[in-house]
Amino acid sequence: MPKLRSAVSRVWPRVALVVGILLLWSLVYGAGVFDPALFPSPLSVWEALTSNLRGADGLFVAAVKSVERLAVGMAISIVVGTTIGLAMASWKAVQRSLGTLMVALQALPSIAWLSLALLWFGDRSARAIVYVVILGAFPSVAIATATSVRLVPPVLVRAARTLGAAGWELQRGVIFPAAIPDYFVGIQQAWAFAWRALLAGELIASGAHGLGQTIHGASSQADVALVLAAMLVIVVVGLLVDLGLTFFDKRIRSSRGLLISD
């Protein structure tokens, strides 16, 4: 019973929020405040979602394409960003040079690179989108890696050295495990940057079938219901990814005694 109460207490605020939004949406639509062609009802959006979910150009295939590009871009970003971050944490000269570059790249919106990417790879190439995703994500991974290593409590390092740990053994057995919780926070931030960069790129790149291009096509046809349906799919995918990352984050922190119970 306590577990049931806990589950209900976690779920009901979310359900209440969704129901409230739908009720407000329906009331505004019913009052005729906006043109129905530009402000469809929740039922119209649901019908657009269900009728366009299947098929070669449907929302499901578009979502799969987008997630595939996100996965490829994030995998490359994690490898490159982690390598650069470890180098930044290990050598001050690298931190002063590449560290500044990583901050500059993080400050620059990754979508600004899309024009160059389209010229280099072509406007019908998915590689341009993956390129933008990488530039949106790997600086955050690099900065998070360097920061997480530097934030390892010095007392842990001194204790390990007192016990004879040094070199790679010290890095592998003490520093890396201690840095993982903060490092994973950087991964969560990087995926959010990557997701936004991906969708912005798909909106512009004409040959990159995905959720962003679906929104662009529906907008050009003034199909507001389909635009909102695609946005709903984007939200659902984002929530599912965030849910998975949050689950692993809690497992990591719980295993290290860093999680405060609700």
Residue (of 74, 97, 78, 73) closest to 87 by Cα position: 97
Q: What gap in Å lies between CA 129 and CA 216, rounded to an integer?
A: 15
φ, ψ at 94 (rounded to 5°): -70, -40
Record the tokens describing residue 100, joined without a space: 């500044």
pLDDT at 261: 53
Q: What gap in Å lies between CA 61 and CA 51, rounded to an integer?
A: 13
Number of helices (H) and strands (E), helices first, in the chain? 11, 0
Tell me the three state secondary structure of residue 120. Answer: helix
Which residue is associated with the tokens 């096509």? Answer: 217
What is the per-residue pLDDT across 190-202, written as a single tens digit (0 to 9) for each?
998 899 889 988 8
Angle ∠(138,142,143) on CA atoms, nearest 5: 120
The pTM of the full predicted model, rounded to 2 decimals, is: 0.84
Q: What gap in Å lies between CA 201 and CA 126, rounded to an integer?
A: 10
Per DSSP, helices labelled H in 122-210 are 126-150, 154-162, 167-170, 176-204
pLDDT at 12: 80
- Domain ranges across the chain: 40-255
Give the number of C-alpha atoms closer than 13 A to the C-alpha of residue 186, restricted to the C-beta side: 24
pLDDT at 68: 93
What is the per-residue pLDDT across 55-77, written as a single tens digit (0 to 9) for each?
878 899 999 999 999 999 999 99
Please give the single-letter amino acid code of residue 169: E
Q: What gap in Å lies between CA 179 and CA 181, rounded to an integer?
A: 6
E strand or H helix that includes residue 39: none
The residue ranges of the chain whose pLDDT is under 70 are 1-4, 6-8, 123-125, 206-207, 256-262
Helices 176-204/224-255 angle, 10° precision: 170
pLDDT at 141: 93
For 40-255, which CATH superfamily applies?
MetI-like (1.10.3720.10)
Record the tokens describing residue 219, joined without a space: 């907008």
Record the tokens describing residue 162, joined without a space: 């007192």
Biggest alpha carbon distance in the chain? 75
- DSSP class of residue 166 equals -
Q: What gap in Å lies between CA 72 and CA 111, rounded to an integer?
A: 17
What's the alpha-carbon Rg for the chain, to the nearest Å?
Answer: 23
